[in-house]
Amino acid sequence: MERILHVLTGPTAVGKTEWALRWAEAHDAEIVSCDSLLFYRGMDIGTAKPTPAERARVPHHLIDIRDVADRMDVTDYVTEAKAVCDALQARGRRMLVTGGSGFYLKAFFAPVADTVDVPPAVRAAVATRLEQDGLPTLVEELRRLNPQGLGPLDVRNPCRVVRALERCRASGRTLADLAGAFARQPAPFAGWEVRLARLERPRAELEARIDRRVQAMLAAGLVAEVRRLLAAGLQQNASAAGAIGYRETIAFLEGRLRADELAPAIAKNTRALVKKQLTWFRTQLPPHPVLAADRFTPDALFPAATSATARR
């Protein structure tokens, strides 16, 4: 059987969920999530997670597979996604990958993570040093370990500096060596034909949808959801706690935002996210059709002539 992956993306609030459901129903397919927050149990309202009724229409995968305190990264995602896609292909099932998390989407077309295994002890040591000695000390150590320079590393970004130092300590190699090895890796889904399509809406329409979504989330109980998640360890997972909708609600619960400031803050940050997503889609994904979300049928999503194939 052919190894074909259909991938549907688009910015937040564009309408991916409903079109994914319609396409999957029309083509007897199953949906594989590519959203970096839908992994977490209990993060339902703020992520616009497909409802139980929507998930009853079509089988979904990679949703609710982690507790909120249990961090999941792109390497974990690639492992999980490959296992799901291989299993579906073995059963002769069509599959539709859908989501707007750019870095995770890129995994279907190119390498996104190296093979360096960073032991927990190394992560803990680097985190402790950052906390005790500050970012400049980590940058200084990186420069000692990389006498030929740090290349394009943003030394003002703590997350990137920490990740770089972890990889250098764990591997005993320079960043240049690691970059060369990374460039020689095959794409995780090499051997699959990956057909990509993206949805869009006019900016004013998308912003109106964002405003309505934020109001609907608050009415549905977003604040109560965040309270429950905090009790379950949300703040142990920095990427989840920092997600739009959650970080603003945490700020409200901690008294750093007034009630009347909450919805505008979430909407403003969501609009900024959409801008970043659109840039990522244009610059980091292979050429693909862009379709008006309000003017097409499921059969128009993946014309064979416009498929993009994963690089080998």
State whether 67 and 94 are in the same domain: yes
Average pLDDT value for residue range 141-160: 91
Q: Which helix (H) or strand (E) holds 295?
A: none
Per the domain annotation, does 312 fall within a domain? no
Domain end marker among 152, 167, 183? 183
Q: Is pLDDT at 152 greater than 60 in this prediction?
A: yes
pLDDT of residue 99: 96
Average pLDDT value for residue range 5-30: 95
Q: Residues 264-276: pLDDT tens digits?
A: 999 999 999 999 9
* CB < 8 Å & 24+ apart, contacts of 177-186: 178/114, 178/116, 179/151, 181/114, 181/115, 182/111, 182/114, 183/111, 185/111, 185/114, 185/115, 186/111, 186/312
State whether 12 and 153 are in the same domain: no
Q: What is the CATH number of the domain that holds 223?
A: 3.40.50.300
State whether 296 and 263 are in the same domain: yes
Number of domains in the chain: 2
Neighbours of 172 (CB within 10 A): 8
pLDDT of residue 186: 86
pLDDT of residue 312: 38
pLDDT of residue 308: 47
Q: What's the pLDDT band for 306 if we cut at 50, 70, 90?
A: very low
Per the domain annotation, does 94 fall within a domain? yes
Q: Residues 215-260: pLDDT tens digits?
A: 999 999 999 999 999 999 999 998 899 999 999 999 999 999 999 9
Per the domain annotation, does 311 fall within a domain? no
Those residues whose C-beta lies under 8 Å from the C-beta of residue 230, and which sit 6 or more positions away, are 250, 253
Average pLDDT value for residue range 182-188: 85
- Highest mean pLDDT out of 47-51, 118-122, 154-158, 187-191: 47-51
pLDDT of residue 210: 98
Lowest mean per-residue pLDDT among 31-35, 39-43, 61-65, 301-305: 301-305
**Closest by Cα among 226, 268, 262 to 246:** 226
User: Residue 5: helix, strand or coil by DSSP?
Assistant: strand
State whether 158 and 276 are in the same domain: no
State whether 150 and 74 are in the same domain: no
Predicted TM-score of the model (pTM): 0.83
Q: Residues 192-206: pLDDT tens digits?
A: 999 999 999 999 999
State whether 192 and 158 are in the same domain: no
State whether 56 and 199 are in the same domain: yes
State whether 158 and 216 are in the same domain: no
Q: What is the residue range of 168's domain?
A: 120-183
DSSP structure class, residue 84: H
Q: What is the CATH number of the domain that holds 150?
A: 1.10.20
pLDDT of residue 304: 53
pLDDT of residue 12: 96
State whether 253 and 192 are in the same domain: yes
